[in-house]
């Protein structure tokens, strides 16, 4: 739960960082977003890293059900 809150706080600053869990390499991925642009993802050693990060970003977009963090949006 705390990790989810931390990731959402970072997301509000248009920057997310996490370890990839797709393969044993565990690359440290970073995604940044400028106004009106798509996420730029760096840090991957293989092509699966950006796919994983984009799936994580899609799951954590604003407007999702925040019941796992008490149902309160983070401002």
pLDDT at 63 over 80: no
Is 70 among the domain residues?
Answer: no
User: Going by DSSP bridges, is the β-strand pair 40-42/15-19 parallel, antiparallel, or unpaired?
Assistant: unpaired
Residue 63 token pair: 């407007």
Is 66 among the domain residues?
Answer: no
pLDDT band at 35 (very low <50, low <70, confident <90, very high): confident
Is 72 among the domain residues?
Answer: no
pLDDT, greater one: 54 or 75: 54
19 neighbors 53 (Cβ within 8 angstroms): no
* Number of structural domains the chain divides into: 1
Residue with token string 């642009």? 37
CA distance 64 to 45: 30
pLDDT at 74 over 80: no
Give mean pLDDT, residues 6-31: 80
- 71 burial type by CB count under 10 A (0-12 exposed, 13-18 middle, 19+ buried): exposed
Is 69 among the domain residues?
Answer: no
Query: What does the DSSP 8-state code read for residue 29?
Result: E
Is 20 among the domain residues?
Answer: yes
Segments forming the whole domain that contains residue 49: 2-61
């Amino acid at each position: 739960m705390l990790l989810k809150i931390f990731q959402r706080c970072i997301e509000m600053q248009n920057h997310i960082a996490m370890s990839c869990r797709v393969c044993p390499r565990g690359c440290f991925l970073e995604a940044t977003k400028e106004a009106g642009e798509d996420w730029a993802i760096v840090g991957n050693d293989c092509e699966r890293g950006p796919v994983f990060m984009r799936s994580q970003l899609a799951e954590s977009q604003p407007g999702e059900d925040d019941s796992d963090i008490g149902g309160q949006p983070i401002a």
